[in-house]
Amino acid sequence: MDLPRKFTIREGDLRIINPIDDAKLATLGRAIKLAPGTSILDLCSGKGELLCTWARDHGVTGTGVDISTVNTAAARARAAELGVADRVRFVHGDAATYVAAEPVDLAACVGATWIGDGVPGTLEILDRSLRPGGMVLVGEPYWRRDPPDEETVAGSHARSRDEFRDLPGLVRLFGECGWDLVEMVLADQDSWDRYAAAHWLNLRRWLDANPDDELAGELRQELTDDPLRYVRYRREFLGWGVFALLRR
């Protein structure tokens, strides 16, 4: 069980594997008023930047779960680098089936609602580990503009127009699932650019160093296609945010 190698090549040395940057991640931690000792479960925790920086800045504790051995190792190294390895731990495993041993104050899935086949299922997964009155964080795309055709939908990395909602529709969905939206931090075009463009440099550097690798042809085509696809479709049509929710 592991993440395909092309993902870790593309992500390279990125610490935050979604379209918010370190400043927005810090803003989110302040906005939800994290208290020392807050217990967090972070499903699909990536390289652990959320848990590690919040442990350093707010004194939280927690567990991150991720399917990638590369990401899990990077998260453990980051915890050691920031001096918080005694407060956070990282588990290589299936986030979709993981349940915390003890209910947590905050359960997060930031940018990977595929684990529950969408927002409603992911909220159910998070709720399994949440104490009564606890908070969940969900990172999710939404349509900034209505895509005019299937080419735009596909260019935005959506399987169908209905895979994502617009922002009012996403907020409405949270309510339909029984949750109040109490905070949010949204990506902007600059943080989207920094996330997307970093992939291209990572791909080019890897291709230069590994021209004979079995993935070279596929990733060369991605580097050829993705910049134009991004500026034509995702940058204009797709938004992304992290949403803090409390059960009604």
Q: Domains in the chain, ordered, with CATH?
A: 5-145+163-187+240-247 (3.40.50.150)
> Residues 13-40: what's their mean pLDDT?
97
Q: What is the model's pTM?
A: 0.96
Cβ contact 62:51 at 8 Å: yes
138: Cβ contacts below 8 Å, ≥ 6 apart: 108, 109, 110, 113, 119, 122, 123, 126, 242, 243, 245
For the stretch 88-112, pLDDT in tens is 999 999 999 999 999 999 999 999 9
pLDDT of residue 1: 78
157: Cβ contacts below 8 Å, ≥ 6 apart: 234, 238
Is the pLDDT score of 11 beyond 90?
yes
Q: Which amino acid is at 115?
A: I
For the stretch 160-208, pLDDT in tens is 999 999 999 999 999 999 999 999 999 999 999 999 999 999 999 999 9
Radius of gyration over every alpha carbon of the chain, rounded to an integer in angstroms: 18
In a 3-state reduction of DSSP, which class is residue 210? coil
Cβ contact 55:62 at 8 Å: yes
111: Cβ contacts below 8 Å, ≥ 6 apart: 17, 18, 44, 139, 140, 240
Give CA–CA dist 127/38, Å, rounded: 16
pLDDT of residue 148: 94
